[in-house]
Amino acid sequence: MPQHYDNAVKYVMLGYSQEFAEFMIGHSDIKVLETLETEQPTIKTHQNDSTLKVQLRNEGN
């Protein structure tokens, strides 16, 4: 069941992806590569609110 803050976090995560990822990971040397699909395959389908794919700048592809 969605919580009251889900929409606010989704807005910040998608609107400020770089800053959000840096804050959540606690590291400023990362690069947001893309926003991933919210439906991720698992044994049971689960719908995520939002998902980011990031890369640490000091790591290769």
- Residue 51 has a pLDDT of 83
What does the alpha-carbon distance between residue 7 and residue 26 come to, in Å, rounded to a whole number?
22
pLDDT band (50, 70, 90) for residue 22? very high
Taking a C-beta distance cutoff of 8 angstroms, is the pair 29, 54 a contact? Answer: no
Cβ neighbour number for residue 25 with a 10 Å cutoff: 13
For residue 54, what are the β-bridge partners?
Answer: 32
pLDDT over 70 at 15, yes or no: yes
What does the alpha-carbon distance between residue 54 and residue 45 come to, in Å, rounded to a whole number?
23
How much of the chain, in percent, has pLDDT values that exceed 90?
21
Residue 6 backbone dihedrals phi, psi, to 5 degrees:
-55, -50
pLDDT over 60 at 61, yes or no: no
